[in-house]
Amino acid sequence: MIFLSGSLAVVGVLAISLGAVSIQLSKTCSILLHRFFGLTASTGWTARDASIILDLRLPRVISGALVGAALAIAGGVLQALLRNPLADPYVLGISSGAAVGAVLAILFGLGSTLLGSYAIPGAAFAGALLTLLFVYFLARVQGRVPAQTMLLAGVIVSSFFSAMIMFLISVTSDERLYNITFWLMGNLEYVASQALGVIFLYLLGGSAVLFSLTRDLNLMALGEETASELGVEVERVKKTAFVFASLITGAVVSVSGLIGFVGLVVPHIVRMIWGPDHRFLIPASALVGASFLVLADTVARTVMAPSEIPVGVVTAMGGAPFFVYLLRRKGLAANH
Amino acid sequence: MESVFFRYPGREIFRDLTLYLEEGEILGLIGPNSSGKTTLLKLMDGLLQPQRGKVFLEKEGLRQLPRPQVAKQIAVVPQEMEVPFPFTAGEIVLMGRAPYLGRFGWEKRKDLDIAREGMALTDVAGLENRPFLELSQGEKQRVLMARALAQEPKVILLDEPTSHLDINHQVEFNELIRRLNREKKLTVLNISHDLNLAAEYSHRIALLHRGLIYALGTPSTVITEENIRRVYETTVMVERNPFTGAPRVTPVGKTKGEPSGPQKTIHLICGEGSGVDSARRLLLRGYRVSLGVLNMGDTDQKIGKTLGLAMALEEPFSAISERAYGENQVLIEKADLVVVERFLVGKGNLPNLQAAIDALRKGKRVVVLENNLEYDFTGGEARVCYRRLKEEGAVFIPDHSRLLEEAGKHLNPN
């Protein structure tokens, strides 16, 4: 765990020093140390350097870490609840719900109203929450929420909302189309630093609750009846976990758009390397997910600098082949 | 549980069912498929709630107890468990300690020791680091048993735990249950498809039929030919296990009934079980079979009776009388082929050989299994009879492997 935290810090600093304007690593370090610990003297760099590092890149790296961590935690939790290693935060339809909210906000030009830059994330978050409630009540049978039904309801709601997004896009023809598309592809460019604080609080609260459920998740992975036989209050744990996983997903999706593969691949990798004990898996996934997304975002910023590609494209392009590699390797190992 | 009513949506399972699991006993729960055995187990563990009636754990209502409290007292060993993630066998067993841990607690030394003890008892100590998914069915079953033991329960509910095990592990598993019952005063409910194992290892047996307790009591009062025939709609023979005295069930199956094969009759002259194998094989090929002369109580006679065969009979331990000899001759008269099995010949049953000689003289075909008469209790008369059989044209075969062939040759000449 310490190792993973360390690597996250290293990845973060590296990511901050890289970018369209090149700033040396040593310079980056001293700017950061000066700003946060007052250690090094404020010499050797210009105000412009400091501004790039502290005002542009640092918030972006932090938002990458937060979004990555949230998606990976939610992915790990949902994989355990649904007893399916291929589940991810998007299967419950939360992302499509958020997307519908965001697209509607863009279409109705809410971005230019009083609400300003909060309008789109706000609408997306509302969309995510409404979808969660909708899926939840759709899946409820006699006061219980069977995981399988929840999964089905999620998939159905998700595809319905996707169709709705397609429809909205097809009737849009001006520059708003570009905004929508860019949001749907997922990127960290527009995460305002004010919003960061709010997301951080959501994530902190949400993951604290989820961490407290990790031992129950181990048992839930053996099946709901088994978990109950071993003393888990199944319905309560399931409801809590679904709600909080959705909440943190909704919070980050609302600002970052749709960034795929993090929630799917990261818990998978952690499980392959360190085993499936969720007491380790979930926190480790948070750290690995954070590092992974910061890394991916750095690639997104730098490969075609000064222009950027959406980070969702990078995670999918990098994540998918890596995932295939892991699966193949595991498949071969199992056969021998 | 007391006066329990339970229904799944659209299907009523139990009406007014009452069953007490008594402290320190092994209660075997038997019954045909879909008689409600597993549902009963789930009610007893509180996984399902009855619509009416109440399930108690000692004096307390099960429903009011928090799940961790229940898990400390009742453990369940399911038929099987699917795990989507690569947990090791050791991790699975340790999960049995879950009800004893706090929300953020990790297992302590004591928990590890208890888990190891469970694994040692179920003979899976060496599998600790193996992924559960890669274990064989039998190993998985024993790991699940170890997990149940790690819960340190007072009551253990077993849902056909031995259905996937081979015979040595079945016995070992049941021996383990018996030992835990004696040493740790563990109360056991054992759902079983295997009537013989249930009869052997249970103190009491409950026979479940269409959501009712059809019979409840000691194995020998519950497992009777009558009860099994009524509930399972199958004809069985119930005897005593000669080693333990427990009732032993043998299905009689479909060999009884109308033959559908060659419609020919074969008469077996036999005794002391020498005719059982042939009778069975011939019946399976679709022949009719008759037996004679047998003493009442003879092995061949008992099996002949359950198979519903025509037999010429004599009083127990008595020499063959004129009457029995006559009955035998009637059967021989109706038969298309006579087979003389290899049985011990004494003064009492010597007339059986004479009957075969008579049959030859009347033109019947007779097949004789070679008999070296190692023990001759007739002072040489048996040897004379065998010589006579040979002279009169009986077909001698060295062993049963040629019996069907000979029968086919004589009965279906084309």
The token duo for A240 is 């809590």
Kindly report the CATH number that applies to the domain delimited by B2-251: 3.40.50.300
More confident residue, B148 or A323: B148
Which of A228, A275, A279 has its CB closest to that of B47? Answer: A228
Please tell me the predicted confidence (pLDDT) of residue A73. 93
**What structural domains does chain A harbor?**
2-335 (1.10.3470.10)
Is residue A123 over pLDDT 70?
yes
DSSP, residue by residue, A186-203: --STT--HHHHHHHHHHH
Q: Is A236 on the interface with B (CB under 8 A)?
A: no
- B306 neighbors B252 (Cβ within 8 angstroms): yes
Binned at pLDDT 50, 70 and 90, residue B268 comes out as very high
Across the interface, do B76 and A275 touch by the CB < 8 Å criterion?
A: no
- Of A164 and A123, which is predicted with more confidence? A164
Are B304 and B260 contacting, i.e. CB atoms less than 8 angstroms apart? no
> Among B47, B83, B95, B157, which would you mutate to test the A interface (most chain A Cβ atoms within 10 Å of its Cβ)?
B95
Average pLDDT over every residue of A269-295? 89
Q: What is the ipTM of this complex?
A: 0.78
- The amino acid at A11: V
Tell me if A230 and B83 make a contact (CB, 8 A cut-off). no
| Residues 6+ away with beta carbon under 8 Å from B77 | B141, B144, B145, B148, B156, B157, B158, B159, B161
A223 chain-B contacts, CB cut-off 8 A? 81-82
Q: pLDDT at position B267, please? A: 92
Check whether B106 has a pLDDT greater than 70.
yes
User: Average pLDDT of chain B?
Assistant: 84
At the topology level of CATH, where does B255-411 sit? Rossmann fold (3.40.50)
pLDDT category at B260 given cuts 50, 70, 90 is low
Looking at per-residue confidence, does B408 or A69 come out higher? A69
DSSP class of residue A93 equals: S
pLDDT at B93 over 90: yes
Domain boundaries, chain B: 2-251, 255-411
**For the whole prediction, is pTM greater than 0.90?**
no
Q: Which of B96-110, B254-268, B305-319 has the lowest mean pLDDT?
A: B254-268
pLDDT of residue A39: 67
Chain A residues with CB-CB distance to B78 below 8 A:
225-226
Assess contact for B66 and A203: CB atoms under 8 A: no
Lowest mean pLDDT among A174-188, A207-221, B136-150: A174-188
Per-residue pLDDT for A114 more than 60?
no
Q: How confident is the model at residue B10 (pLDDT cuts 50, 70, 90)?
A: low
